[in-house]
Structure 1
């Protein structure tokens, strides 16, 4: 029988190979979510040495705040594991036109998510909004709040519209999470621009009646944010060349 991580990879390929049929896509997405929910650190032979250092991350130290383990990447999706040091974060960033899943494998992480507020004309800033005159890119978003996710919790899912802007952070202890993204990030030129990760700072418009309304202003990638790489030592993962029919 195929390993669990291979079955997840095969299901991810079936799920994201064709997203144009909403009913079929949702059925396949539910299957993928259920498979991913059962994944544990042991299933990918996770190296626990990566989470032994519980010291608080210091941005001035020159050390990497996270380690990344790449499991798989093709044109359809990518799979990997992020290991975050204690008291650090992947700052607010976006996943343009992408779907994503997060399953915690060790410790816990806090996920703070936002969704873009879209007007009837497809824009996301009021025409009379003073802040729109800035030379920085702004997005008007709805804050969903912060959710603490541990190993016994389910899968956190985002899509191109819901929760697409988010921050992942840790507290007193490190946290490791399995991550699926589809399509993966790229640096190619597309009609809507490249699928690259952009970073933001949060602006709270205290004058507004909606306490969950925020503005996210695009900023350069923080200088302290960089990652080390560790090898994947789990079961081998093969390409799934089967068709996209339901099974």
Structure 2
């Protein structure tokens, strides 16, 4: 969606039909005008294609490429993607007990994906992971609470020996460290998470109506082992394991996570992206 190949054809044809006697300065001015007309979404697409060209499972782009893409995402505003706060996506539906979340698919290929999530007040995207992926998220408007985690790398080989509620099996939980647990209000810096750092697992809760831009590289892919897994979190006191000794003052920074399958607390519907079209050259 959001791709208009014929536009690229028209632009290319128009460029090469310029008179042969046009001098270098004229061409340079023409190029500058073309650059000024490029939409922020087109610039985002072009930068993603460059940054994620060699990306793969667990491969993180170089720092200079991370910074380049971060700067492009940071400059994008709500109006740049064709959205306004008064749109119905951001209203609470009284007839629906679970706030409905809207997803606008902008672009996806085997290297990266671009999308926009629109949340009404109290909308929640449950705790989930991003296996082998580098993810950029930019809050476009509103206030959102983000809680994110990373797995504890030196987690002991033993499994929890004390647990409650009793129906949870010892092998189902894993220790994670809280990376972020705070409210964010637009405008704010984009968040970046990595395959094993930066808060690879996160949950979004809309404090007010809000929207955020989501860029994944590479995107989810079951055949390639990048399956989206959802989790339930438990306080550290719910479980214990031999070999783990967390100081009292740090206990709030660690929690147990368990995979979940039943997702009754989320409704996501698709909507057509109506912002500036992307030209794939």
Check 1:32–1:205 CA distance in 2 against 1; reply closer, same or farther (3 A cut): same
Check 1:152–1:128 CA distance in 2 against 1; reply closer, same or farther (3 A cut): closer
More off after superposition, 25-34 vs 44-53: 44-53
SS in structure 2 at match of 1:176? strand
Structure 2 gap ranges (5+): 1-34, 241-245
Q: Determine which of 163, 173, 176 is the counterpart of 1:138.
A: 173
Instruction: Tell me which residue corresponds to 2:264.
Output: 223
Whether the aligned pair in 1 keeps the contact of 2:233 and 2:255 (CA below 8 Å) is yes
SS in structure 2 at match of 1:181? strand
SS in structure 2 at match of 1:129? coil
Instruction: Tell me which residue corresponds to 1:150.
Output: 185
Q: Does 2:130 match 1:89?
A: no
Check 1:237–1:134 CA distance in 2 against 1; reply closer, same or farther (3 A cut): same
Structure 1 gap ranges (5+): 241-247
Check 1:203–1:63 CA distance in 2 against 1; reply closer, same or farther (3 A cut): closer
Quote the Cα distance in structure 1 between the aligned partners of 2:258 and 2:61.
Answer: 36
Higher Cα Rg: structure 1 or 2? 2
Whether the aligned pair in 2 keeps the contact of 1:125 and 1:140 (CA below 8 Å) is no
Q: Does 2:85 match 1:44?
A: no
Cα deviation, 1:161-219, whole Å, max 9, x if unaligned, reads 12001111112x2111011011111221x4xxx31211111111226534112110001
1:145 positional shift: 3.2
Quote the Cα distance in structure 2 between the aligned partners of 1:15 and 1:76.
Answer: 10
**Superposition CA RMSD, Å:** 2.6
More off after superposition, 10-19 vs 79-88: 10-19
Q: Does 2:44 match 1:8?
A: yes
Structure-1-length-normalised TM-score = 0.82
Q: Does 2:231 match 1:196?
A: no
Matches within 5 A, 1:1-247: 1=35, 2-19=38-55, 25-48=62-85, 49-53=87-91, 55=92, 61=96, 65-119=100-154, 124-127=155-158, 129-130=160-161, 134=169, 137-162=172-197, 163-171=199-207, 173-188=208-223, 190=224, 194-206=225-237, 208-209=246-247, 210-211=250-251, 212-239=253-280
Instruction: Tell me which residue corresponds to 1:245.
Output: none
Whether the aligned pair in 2 keeps the contact of 1:64 and 1:228 (CA below 8 Å) is no
Quote the Cα distance in structure 2 between the aligned partners of 1:25 and 1:82.
Answer: 27
Size of the aligned set, in residue pairs, is 227
1:148 positional shift: 2.1
Quote the Cα distance in structure 2 between the aligned partners of 1:213 and 1:23.
Answer: 26
Structure-2-length-normalised TM-score = 0.73
Instruction: Tell me which residue corresponds to 1:244.
Output: none
Quote the Cα distance in structure 1 between the aligned partners of 2:60 and 2:201.
Answer: 25
Quote the Cα distance in structure 1 between the aligned partners of 2:46 and 2:109.
Answer: 12
